[in-house]
Each structure stands twice: as C-alpha cells, then as structure tokens.
Chains A and B, each alone.
Chain A
Amino acid sequence: MRRWITWSTGFWVGLFAVTWLLSSYSFQLYKALDARWIVRFPKAYELPTESRISALLDWLVDSAHFVFFTFRDLTRAIAALIEIPYQFLRNLLIEGFQSGLGAEAVQIAPSLSWIAVIGVAVLIAHFARDLSLGALTGVCFLYLAVFGQWASAMVTMASVLIAVPIGAVGGLLLGIAAYRSPLFEKLLRPFLDLMQTVPVFAYLVPVLILFGFGPVAALVATVIYAMPPMVRVTIVALKAVPEEIKEAGRMVGCTRHQMMWKVLVPSASPALMVGVNQVIMLTLNMVIIASMIGAGGLGFDVLASLRRLDIGGGIEAGLAIVVMAIALDRVSQAFASRGVHEHRSGSYLKRHPWTSTSFAIIVGTLLLGQFIPAVQTYPKDLTITTGPFWTASIEWINVNFFDAFEAIKLVVLQGLLLPVKKFFTGIPWAWGIIATGLFAWKLAGWRMGLMAMLFMAFISASGLWGKTMVTIYLCGVSVFLASLIGIPLGIWAAERPRAGRVILGLMDTLQTLPSFVYLIPVVMLFRVGDFSAMIAVVLYALAPAVRYAAFGLREVPAHLIEAGRMAGCTPRQILFRIKLPLATPHLLLGLNQTIMLALSMLVITALVGTRDLGQEVYIALTKANAGQGIVAGLCVAFIAIIADRVVHAAADGQRRRLGL
C-alpha cells in the first residue's frame, strides 16, 4: 500500500514538474534550438478540416440528392411539419386566429385570454398535486402579466410546448431503440456526447440554412440541445426495471410491443419524468440563444433591453424566464411523483372536474372578453416595473464601490489568473498531447489515454492549440473557484435544512436566469476582460457543485453516522471523517457537471471579450462560417469528453475503494 502511494504521488509530481519546466522554458528552448515548431504547430501540417466541413455542408445543402428529393427538401418538409402545430399554439396563446393577409385579414377567433391561460395552468398544477402547487403556478403566471411580459412569455411558451414534447418523445424512442439493441446504443453514445458538448452557436448556421429562417430553426436547435438527457435517462430507467416485473410480463404472455409499452415504460415512468424535467430546463436555457436566430419572445426582450443598457428591463424579462422554469419544473416533478388515482364515478362533470372547469373558464373569458377588453388582455396601465430601481442600484454600487472591486480584482488577477494563464499557454503542444494522454491513462486506463491523445492532436492540427489552452485555463480557474465556494455552501445546505432551502432556491434561479442578464452589470463593475468572464462562469457553474455536495452528504447511510456518534465523534469529526469521504463520489460528479457547465458558459462569455475557443465559435457565427464553427465546437466537445471520462473514472475508483 505504502509503495503504491509513493509511486502514484511520484508520477503526479513528475508529470507536473516536467510540464511546468517545459511551460516556463518553451520559448527559450525554441530560441536555443531555432525550432519554431516547439511553440507553434507548423502551418504546413495543419489539417484542412475547416474547409472540408464547409464543403461537406455546402454539398448537403446545395446538391445532396436522394433519388426523389434533395436533402434540403427533406429538412424543409420537417420544418413545415413543425410549423403547423407551432403556429397553431401561437395563434391560440397570443396572436388570435386570422384569415387573409395584411390589410384584408379578418379575425376569426381571439387568442386565449390571460385569465384563461392562468386558470388552466393553475388547474393543471392542482391536478398534478394539490392546491398549494396550483397557487404557486398561479403566482408565477401572474408575474408575467403584472410585469408586462405576457405577450413575449406566450411566444416563448409556444416554443417550449413544441420543443419539449418533440425532445421528450424523440428521446424516449431513441432510448428504447438503444435499450433493445446494444449495438445501436454504442453507435448513439458518441452522438449524444457531441450533442451535449458542442456549443449551440457552432451549429446554428447550418441549422438556419437547412431549416429556413425563423422560429422553426430555433426550435430544431433547441431540440438538438435538450434531447440527449432524455435518451440517457430512458436507457438507464428501462435497464433499472426490476427483473420480477419483467418476469410477470413474460408470464402473462406479453408480446414485445406490449412488454415495452404496457410493462417497461409504465413501471419506469417516475424515472422517465426526471428526463422530461431535464428537457424542460434545457429548453428554457436555450431561450436566449434561440432568440438570436428568430425565436423572439422573452429571449429577444432580454437581448434588446441589454443592448440599450436597460438593466432593469433585462432583469425583469430574465426573471420571467425563471418563473416560467419554476412553474414548469415543479409541475413536471409533481407529475413524476403522482401515484395512480382512483377512478371517479358519476356524471361527466364529476368524473372530469378539471377538464370541465378549464372549459368553463375558457368559454367564460372568451365571451366576457368581447365586452370587457381587460378580460382578454391584461390592461397596460396596471403593469408595474422595477426597472428604475435596478438601474439606480447598479449605479450606486458602481459609483461607491468600484475602487474596492478594482482592488479585489487586481489581487485575484495577479495572484491566480495570470500565473495559471502563463502556465497553460506556455505548454508546448507536443508535450501537451503526451501529458494529457498520461493524465487520462493514469486515471481512466490506456484506452482513454489514447483517445485523449488523439483528441489533443486533432486540436493542435486544427491550429487551435493556443485558444484551447486559454479555454482550459479560464475553465479550470472558474471550476476551482466554483468548487471552493460551492462545496461549503452545499455542506451548509445539507447540515441546516432551512438554510438549505434558501440556498438551493437561489441556485435554481442562478441556473435558469439567462447569464446575459448578469453579464452586463458584471462588465460595468469589472470591465471587459478575463476577470469578468470568470465571474460569470463561476456564477453559472456554482449550482451543480452545491447541489451534488448537498445531495452526497444527505445520502450518507444513517447507520454509519450513528456508528460514528457511538464511537464518540464530535460533529466536526463526523463531517470530516465520515460524511465527506463517503460523499466524494458525489462531489466528483458535481465537479464533472461544474466543468460541463463552465465549458458551455465560455461560449457566452465570448460576448464580453475573451480569446478562447468560445470566441472562435462566436466569430464563426457572426461570419456565417459553418466549418470554422464546427471545428472549434468539436475542440470544446473534446475537452469536455476527456474531462467527463476522467472524472467519472475517478469517481468509480473512489466508490470501489469505499466499497459502495
């Protein structure tokens, strides 16, 4: 045991020392040997991936032909198919039904009134659990009306109501296919990894070209981003169905089809709802990016307010997204934990109280709305705004505390950011490939080591080594700080349930509040630069560190804590000697999620001005260069995949050592 530790420690110290030496002296080495290839990947050997991918996409768009139709005909047909229900929902929720065009348009029927939408939402929540959930949902929707966000919120709602079913059902079907065929699962896995890790900005341009401009393209991009967790959850949930249930299904002579839809899917449904919940959250995360390519709605309001520095307006529209997320999240979770209810008997009204009440509200407000406009549309005079308050508070902080912030910033910048940046950007690419390989091999086995080396070689050969190192540095520092703040917060949340509720609620808000909303005040207080980017990343990536820490500590078996108490441990000892070591696998998974979120956020921080892969993806987007975007996106994905596998391997190793 002792020997093993020394060997392992020696390995890490050696790896770090060599890397550090090479990083510090790579420039001198290049001068001494007159070998520029040490610090820069030789241009002549760079792979033409960018132009290849661009050419492939051009071919797909312009000339790919499947006998009867072109590839673009196919994607356009899909777009038209999605357009129908989407347009219907928009008409239903906000625009009203019209026939004819422009000046000759005649209104056939008005949209649902705001009262009707709120009423139906409350009833659905009541049906899902109880009256208090109904009240919460009602308050959330009322916020949208009172703060003047109604019209935009309903546009966003329409896209969520289309994207979530497509994502959930599509994910379910793919998951079932993967469950049935292990080969398909193997083929699917890398695609899922890429869908989750390639930044959305990278494929916006191809999606636009294939699916046409407008909300449908945004919906497609949203589904690509939001579906993978559903697939993964489905596979796990189906595999977890107890053998006895399957046996019972077989004994009553189920066909394959019946087995799946009458036995497996129903018994896995609570777990499946967790996947649906993920789809909802990710869909709402995409609202801002989707609005950049024409989804409109709340995301557009956030972007437009911030472009004119209307911080209050941005915060209100951002909070509207948060309350929508909260309402949808709580209701979907309620459906997940909802047991089977007894069948009611009696008249139709008695058997279907919710449906009939909804119907009554809709018809009632429809009729009343013809005479009283306030019933149809929330009166504009009654909306309130907190905009001036936010603007004034930011100004007050800015004028009074800027110098103090500046001092803190300098300390962090010089003590942490700059040295780490120098270390990473100094690593010569050739050693970087080897070092990553050794790192991955030690933690996750030789296969992963080989894969990591291939990934890093691809990055160097694409000419993106420098930007990748900046990405790793920014992401690394942010993850370090997020864990430093997040894990103690998580411990606190687990030890003190009341504080925990507040902390976890705050984390929900931070995660669903579009990062753009706080990016702008951060820039006002800390100027454009790495520090602002880092703060935004830390704020966004904090949530999983906190959540997994809290979850991990709560999951520690009670009998082990009891044993500790019997042995006379102080609460402090229980925490540090029992709970924390046992919670390490969860802490590591939290770390994994923190890394993933930090990487996805880096693309957003390119909007304040960083010089990393995020910027590369963003430049590609603004220049509509599909190839450049996808290559840079792949580089981000490769870093994410390496990090994911290594951390997972570490967590598994830890679990085995603890005998869990």
Chain B
Amino acid sequence: MKFLAAASALSLAALPVMADSADPIKLTLHDWSGQLITTTLMGEVLKAGGHNVEYVQADYIAQFAGLETGDLHVAMEIWETTGREAMDAATGTGKVVNLGSTGMDAIEEWWFPSYMKDVCPGLPNWEALNDCASEFATAETAPMGRYLGGPVTWGGFDDERVEALEMDFEVVHAGTDAALFAELESAYQRKAPIVLWIYSPHWAPAKYDGEFVEFPPYSVECYNDPSVGINPDAAYDCGKPTGPIWKVAHAGLQESHPDATKAIVNFNISNADMGAMVAEVDLNGKSVEETVAAWMDANQDTWKAWLN
C-alpha cells in the first residue's frame, strides 16, 4: 500500500504540475468560420498544455443557458456588438464570468463595393452617399435608396440612424447573415449598386473589394443624448461603436481547471492574424484544423506564453 502511494507520488512529480481535473473542458462551436478557428486554436493550445478538451456545437445565444448550468464551459467569441445583452444577463447571475477580450475588435458598419465610387465619387463619406441615394434605389424602395441591414436581432439602430441623419434610404432587414452575403455576392457579380451591413473580422471584406462608409464618429453621448451630434433633436446621429470580442466561461471552471482558465484569459490574437486565417478557410478552402496547425507552427512563442 505504501509502495503504491509512493509510486503514484513519483509519477505525479514526473509530470508537469497539474491542478486541473481530467474532465474535458467543453468549448462551444458556432457556425461561422472565424469562431471555429478561434475555438479550435484555443482547444489545440489547451491540448498541447495537457488538458482534455471537447468541442460542442451550440447556438450563439442559446448557449448561455448551458454556460450557466455548467453543461458548457467556454465560449470563445461573444461580440460586444451583438452579444452584449445576453452576456450581461448571464454574468449577472454570477454563474458565468467574462474572461476578457480575445484581442480582436469587432467592426460593424455600412459598407459598399469599390466600383460604386465610379458612380458616387465622394464615397466613403456618408453625406456623399446620401447625395447619390437614388443610385441605390430599387423598384420597391424608389425614390429612396435601399440599404440592406442585418437581422433585426442584431440591433444596430439603423432605422434610427437614417431618421436622425435625414438620409434618403429605406432600411430592409435580412433574416440571417447568409441572406446578407447572398445579396452582396449577387450584386458584386453584376457590379450592381449595393450598400449593406458588413462586419469584421469576416471573410467578406477580404473577398470583396470595398470600404466602410464613414459616419460621424461614435460616442456614448451621441447614442444617449439627442442634443449631441449633427441633429440636435435626435440620438443615433453617428456611426456604430466598435468593440472587443469577449471570451466567457462557466464560473465553476476557475475551480476545476485553474491552469486552463489562466491560459484562456491569456489568449490574445490580432484582427489581422484572424482575418488571414478566415480567408484561408473560406476563400482558399483549407480546413480549420490545417489552418490552425499552420498558425501554431509559425507562432510557437506566442501560444506557449499563454500556457505559463
């Protein structure tokens, strides 16, 4: 008996010190490539650090219920711009914790393809865009221009923005982002006029040549206080905020897997690195695993530092 105990103590000493439980850490996967890359990268780094990892598919918002109960452990991409409300509700219960930014910043704004500059020379200025609103008109919206917004659930206050800035545009909401990019692809193939909601990091700004519209810069006051900004009587008379993409975890993870939690907190990657990987996957047809492995090969020092 004594011998056994000694042997196990020995074998423990031989391995790197690991306070973490051997239960797999459950990371959630959603359905856009950037998130799959971020999560796979985190998972592979954790595996390299000797942790057990399991990937679980879950819906972006619905996953919070699972994070609260501990069915799920880590969600790698909660966007300030689209997930804030759900994240605040979840962290408010005390069962979910915010592990800080991923290092990536989300940009969401009106976007147009470069060929529209020929028709509308003043772009990307928003006033110039407004002056050629009729170029963007379709039969259903004429004489107003047509702006294709994101799903209503994304928020974004585009209807309010159009009112506040007195723009001659009608906001049409797509139901999902797949529909959004289907329209962009269609218009781009025909070099037809289009202005729509695009976000980054995403493959679309890498695939299509274009720019974000420049609105008056965002400020908290602009959104909250009507008197601030160009239109003295309305809020939202400015562009959209940019914001970090957050990592969140089940609160119990810190106790069961303290080392892994540290590594997750340390995880940090730039928009440029992520944009390049997303393009590899979505435009060059590489698999997520290949792309992540290639990045890990090239950036050994970066990710090894996360584990310490």
Which residues of A are in contact with B by a Cβ distance under 8 Å?
101-103, 204-205, 208-209, 212-214, 291-296, 300, 303-304, 306-309, 395, 398-399, 402, 406, 410, 413, 516, 519-521, 523-525, 527-529, 605-610, 615, 618-619, 621-624
Q: Decide if B33 is an interface residue (CB 8 Å cutoff).
A: yes
CA distance A619 to B173 in the complex (A): 13
List 6 other contacts, CB 8 Å, given A212-B69, A213-B71, A395-B189: A101-B24, A291-B57, A294-B57, A398-B186, A402-B186, A528-B172
CB-based contact A609/B173 at 8 Å: yes
CA distance A521 to B186 in the complex (A): 9
Which residues of the other chain, A, contact B17 by a CB distance below 8 angstroms?
none
Q: Among the listed B50, B172, B179, which residue makes an inter-chain contact with A607, where contact means beta carbons less than 8 Å apart?
A: B179
CB-based contact B189/A307 at 8 Å: no
CA distance A560 to B266 in the complex (A): 81
Q: Among the listed B59, B181, B203, which residue makes an inter-chain contact with A293, where contact means beta carbons less than 8 Å apart?
A: B59
Which of B5-13, B60-68, B113-121, B215-223 is the contact stretch? B60-68
CA distance A606 to B175 in the complex (A): 6
CB-based contact A402/B190 at 8 Å: yes
Can you sample 20 A-B contacts with CB below 8 Å? A102-B53, A204-B62, A213-B71, A214-B71, A293-B58, A304-B31, A304-B33, A307-B178, A398-B186, A406-B139, A410-B139, A520-B179, A523-B179, A523-B182, A525-B186, A529-B172, A609-B151, A609-B173, A610-B175, A615-B152
CA distance A333 to B103 in the complex (A): 56
CA distance A205 to B60 in the complex (A): 12
CA distance A101 to B54 in the complex (A): 10
> Within the complex, what minimum Cβ distance (angstroms) separates B290 from chain A?
13
CA distance A584 to B145 in the complex (A): 48
CB-based contact B138/A527 at 8 Å: yes
CB-based contact A528/B152 at 8 Å: no
CA distance A521 to B179 in the complex (A): 9
Which residues of the other chain, B, contact A212 by a CB distance below 8 angstroms?
66, 69, 71
> Which residue of chain A has the shortest Cβ distance to B46 in the bound complex?
A102
CB-based contact B153/A623 at 8 Å: yes
CB-based contact A307/B179 at 8 Å: no
CB-based contact B175/A294 at 8 Å: no
CA distance A296 to B57 in the complex (A): 7
Q: Report which residue of A214, A398, A527 has the largest number of chain B beta carbons within 10 angstroms of its beta carbon.
A: A527
With contact pairs A623-B86, A624-B61 given, residues A527 and B183 touching in the complex (Cβ less than 8 Å):
yes
> Which residue of chain A has the shortest Cβ distance to B26 in the bound complex?
A213
Which residues of the other chain, B, contact A624 by a CB distance below 8 angstroms?
61-62, 64-65, 86
With contact pairs A294-B56, A399-B189, A528-B172 given, residues A607 and B47 touching in the complex (Cβ less than 8 Å):
no
CA distance A292 to B30 in the complex (A): 9
Which residues of the other chain, B, contact A527 by a CB distance below 8 angstroms?
138, 183, 186
Q: Decide if B140 is an interface residue (CB 8 Å cutoff).
A: yes
CB-based contact A528/B174 at 8 Å: yes
- Give per-residue flags for B186-204: 1 if the beta carbon is below 8 A from chain A beta carbons, else 0: 1001101000000000010
CA distance A623 to B65 in the complex (A): 11
Which residues of the other chain, A, contact B172 by a CB distance below 8 angstroms?
528-529, 609
> Which residue of chain A has the shortest Cβ distance to B28 in the bound complex?
A213
CB-based contact A102/B56 at 8 Å: no
CA distance A622 to B151 in the complex (A): 10
A-B interface, 7 closest residue pairs, ranked by CB to CB distance from nearest: A102-B52, A609-B175, A524-B186, A213-B66, A294-B57, A523-B182, A607-B175
Q: Among the listed B56, B139, B148, B203, which residue makes an inter-chain contact with A214, where contact means beta carbons less than 8 Å apart?
A: B56
> Which residue of chain B has the shortest Cβ distance to A620 in the bound complex?
B153
- Give per-residue flags for B12-51: 1 if the beta carbon is below 8 A from chain A beta carbons, else 0: 0000000000111000100111000000000000010011
CA distance A169 to B22 in the complex (A): 38
CA distance A214 to B85 in the complex (A): 24
Q: Among the listed A307, A308, A524, which residue makes an inter-chain contact with B183, where contact means beta carbons less than 8 Å apart?
A: A524
CB-based contact A528/B57 at 8 Å: no
With contact pairs A103-B47, A399-B190 given, residues A213 and B174 touching in the complex (Cβ less than 8 Å):
no
CA distance A610 to B151 in the complex (A): 10
Q: Report which residue of B31, B140, B176, B190 has the largest number of chain A beta carbons within 10 angstroms of its beta carbon.
A: B176
Q: Report which residue of B24, B69, B172, B186 has the largest number of chain A beta carbons within 10 angstroms of its beta carbon.
A: B186
Q: Decide if B225 is an interface residue (CB 8 Å cutoff).
A: no
CB-based contact A619/B33 at 8 Å: no
Which residues of the other chain, B, contact A524 by a CB distance below 8 angstroms?
182-183, 185-186
Q: Among the listed B23, B58, B152, B181, which residue makes an inter-chain contact with A309, where contact means beta carbons less than 8 Å apart?
A: B181
Q: Among the listed A213, A307, A618, A622, which residue makes an inter-chain contact with B31, where contact means beta carbons less than 8 Å apart?
A: A307
CA distance A607 to B59 in the complex (A): 15
CA distance A214 to B181 in the complex (A): 28
CA distance A284 to B192 in the complex (A): 38
> Which residue of chain B has the shortest Cβ distance to A521 in the bound complex?
B182
> Within the complex, what minimum Cβ distance (angstroms) separates B12 from chain A?
15
With contact pairs A410-B139, A523-B182 given, residues A103 and B50 touching in the complex (Cβ less than 8 Å):
yes
CA distance A102 to B186 in the complex (A): 44
Which residues of the other chain, B, contact A398 by a CB distance below 8 angstroms?
186, 189-190
> Within the complex, what minimum Cβ distance (angstroms) separates B72 from chain A?
5
Which residues of the other chain, A, contact B152 by a CB distance below 8 angstroms?
615, 619
> Which residue of chain A has the shortest Cβ distance to B90 in the bound complex?
A624
Q: Among the listed B62, B85, B192, B282, which residue makes an inter-chain contact with A205, where contact means beta carbons less than 8 Å apart?
A: B62
Which residues of the other chain, A, contact B209 by a CB distance below 8 angstroms?
none
CA distance A395 to B148 in the complex (A): 21
Q: Report which residue of A209, A304, A309 has the largest number of chain B beta carbons within 10 angstroms of its beta carbon.
A: A309
CB-based contact A528/B31 at 8 Å: no
> Within the complex, what minimum Cβ distance (angstroms) separates B111 from chain A?
16
CB-based contact A413/B66 at 8 Å: no
CB-based contact A300/B24 at 8 Å: no
Q: Decide if B289 is an interface residue (CB 8 Å cutoff).
A: no
CA distance A621 to B178 in the complex (A): 17
Q: Decide if B177 is an interface residue (CB 8 Å cutoff).
A: yes
CB-based contact B183/A529 at 8 Å: no
CA distance A445 to B100 in the complex (A): 63
Q: Among the listed A102, A293, A300, A609, which residue makes an inter-chain contact with B62, where contact means beta carbons less than 8 Å apart?
A: A293
CB-based contact A528/B24 at 8 Å: no
Which residues of the other chain, A, contact B173 by a CB distance below 8 angstroms?
528, 609
CA distance A204 to B177 in the complex (A): 21
CB-based contact A213/B63 at 8 Å: yes
Q: Report which residue of B59, B140, B148, B182 has the largest number of chain A beta carbons within 10 angstroms of its beta carbon.
A: B182
> Which residue of chain A has the shortest Cβ distance to B154 in the bound complex?
A622
CB-based contact B65/A209 at 8 Å: yes
CA distance A116 to B23 in the complex (A): 34
Which residues of the other chain, B, contact A293 by a CB distance below 8 angstroms?
57-59, 62
Which residues of the other chain, B, contact A101 by a CB distance below 8 angstroms?
22-24, 52
Which residues of the other chain, B, contact A406 by a CB distance below 8 angstroms?
139
Q: Report which residue of A294, A303, A306 has the largest number of chain B beta carbons within 10 angstroms of its beta carbon.
A: A294
CA distance A363 to B147 in the complex (A): 61
> Which residue of chain A has the shortest Cβ distance to B203 in the bound complex?
A308
> Which residue of chain A has the shortest Cβ distance to B52 in the bound complex?
A102
Which residues of the other chain, B, contact A520 by a CB distance below 8 angstroms?
178-179, 182
> Within the complex, what minimum Cβ distance (angstroms) separates B64 from chain A?
7
> Which residue of chain A has the shortest Cβ distance to B184 in the bound complex?
A309
CA distance A500 to B32 in the complex (A): 41
CB-based contact A622/B182 at 8 Å: no
Which residues of the other chain, A, contact B24 by a CB distance below 8 angstroms?
101-102
Which residues of the other chain, B, contact A529 by a CB distance below 8 angstroms?
140, 172
> Which residue of chain B has the shortest Cβ distance to A516 in the bound complex?
B178
CA distance A520 to B183 in the complex (A): 9
CA distance A621 to B175 in the complex (A): 13
> Within the complex, what minimum Cβ distance (angstroms) separates B193 from chain A?
12
> Which residue of chain B has the shortest Cβ distance to A406 in the bound complex?
B139
> Which residue of chain A has the shortest Cβ distance to B64 in the bound complex?
A624
Which residues of the other chain, B, contact A304 by a CB distance below 8 angstroms?
31, 33
CA distance A413 to B24 in the complex (A): 54
> Within the complex, what minimum Cβ distance (angstroms) separates B14 from chain A?
15
With contact pairs A524-B182, A524-B183 given, residues A413 and B140 touching in the complex (Cβ less than 8 Å):
yes
Which residues of the other chain, B, contact A516 by a CB distance below 8 angstroms?
178
> Within the complex, what minimum Cβ distance (angstroms) separates A314 from chain B?
9
> Within the complex, what minimum Cβ distance (angstroms) separates B191 from chain A?
9
CA distance A609 to B196 in the complex (A): 14
